[in-house]
Amino acid sequence: MEKERFPGMKNNGKTVILAYDHGMEHGPSDFRGLPETADPERVFKLSTSEDVNILAVQKGLAENYYDCYSDKVKLLVKLNGTPSMKKDVPYSPKNCTVKRAVEIGADAVGYTVYPGSIAEEKMFEDFREVQENAREHGIPVVMWAYPRGNEIDDDTTPEVVSYGARIGLELGADMVKVKYTGSRGNMEEVTRITGDMDVVVSGGSRKEDKEFLEMLDKSLEAGCVGTAVGRNLWKRKDPEKMIKAIGDLLFREKTVEESMENF
């Protein structure tokens, strides 16, 4: 049976998820230096670009802003999140149900899991409920797979990232979001172990233009289908330039150097 295309995914099988769930996860720290980024309206407007496929936000932002954009952008509701102020046990509690996400208009849902945490059994059970409910409602679920815990010294090694990604496959995720492992070869270890499940690379913290585009280019060459990017877009004064550069790489088959011409 042919695999169903992820919502909003382009015909070449690539996707850009604009992530803006950071207000829950990181609080005010992500909005310093460019205070206008704290305004959700700014990011919702960015999401209407032809080079953005779907917008990922928490329940509250979706409830308050999405109505005005529902005909312009697909919606991914992030169902869990935890403030960075709480650091004792890596655990991200559920704060929205699949049913409520669908009522808001979600085309997909996302869920963070921390394999390696002492709370991983609880998170696996939480994800099971989310995944099965998503199946009942006919929408895909994306796992933010972020291994974390006392036994993990470096959460960007290919062994650790691959393990987290594989857990996503085993638990029934339709797509997994992972951290970059540092090279094309290392990222190939991640995509090799995930079967036909789609893998997107996290944009991570704000990077220089070329550094970010090269990271994305290597990830695509390794078999990733795109990126879930937030701070590398909306933390810029002119995010439209980077959105276009990402689109050039993913959808218009331009090189990093050609994409850099946007700047």
For residue 54, give the nearest of 8, 106, 100, 4 by alpha carbon: 8
Instruction: Compute the distance between CA of residue 117 and CA of residue 182 in angstroms, rounded to an integer.
Output: 23
156 part of a folded domain: yes
7 in any annotated domain: no
Quote the CA–CA distance of 249 and 130 in Å, as a whole number.
Answer: 33
Contact assessment for residue 7 and residue 248, using Cβ atoms and an 8 Å cutoff: no
Q: What is the largest CA-CA distance in the chain?
A: 49
Region class of 138: left (phi > 0), else alpha (psi between -120 and 50), else beta: left
CB 146 within 8 A of CB 173: no
Distance CA 239, CA 191 (A): 29
Instruction: Give the Cα-Cα-Cα angle 58, 151, 200 (nearest 5 degrees).
Output: 40
Would you say residue 130 lies in a domain?
Answer: yes
What would the two tokens of residue 42 be?
């700014």
Q: Is residue 5 part of a domain?
A: no
CA distance 166 to 251: 27
- CATH value at residue 54: 3.20.20.70
Quote the mean pLDDT of the chain. 94
pTM to 2 decimals?
0.95
For tokens 């810029």, the residue is: 236
Among 231, 219, 226, 221, residue whose Cα is nearest residue 247: 226
Q: Is 104 among the domain residues?
A: yes
Residues 109, 97 contacting (CB under 8 angstroms): no
Cβ atoms of 198 and 225 closer than 8 Å: yes
* Residue-wise pLDDT tens digits, 10-59: 889 999 999 999 988 888 888 888 889 999 999 999 999 999 999 999 99
Counting the structural domains of the chain, the total is: 1
Beta-bridge partners for 228: 17, 202
User: Which element (helix H / strand E) includes 16?
Assistant: strand 15-19
In a domain, 1, yes or no: no
Q: Please state, in angstroms and rounded to a whole number, the distance separating the CA atoms of residues 20 and 69.
A: 15
Instruction: Please report whether residue 4 resides in a domain.
Output: no
Return the pLDDT at 150. 87
Q: Which domain holds residue 45?
A: 15-262
CB atoms within 10 A of CB 86: 11
Residue 179 annotated to the active site: no
Average pLDDT over residues 227-233: 96
Grade residue 86 by pLDDT with cuts at 50, 70 and 90: low
Q: Model confidence at 190, in pLDDT bands (50, 70, 90)?
A: very high
pLDDT digits (tens, 9 = 90+) for 87-117: 678 899 999 999 999 999 999 999 999 999 9
Backbone angles phi, psi at 17, to 5 degrees: -100, 120
Structural domain includes residue 3: no
Q: What is the mean pLDDT of residues 176-196?
A: 97
Going by pLDDT thresholds of 50, 70 and 90, the confidence category of residue 1 is very low
The Cβ of residue 28 has, within 10 Å, a number of other Cβ atoms equal to: 9
Q: Which of 10, 177, 218, 235 is catalytic?
A: 177
Please say whether the beta carbons of 113 and 167 come within 8 A. yes
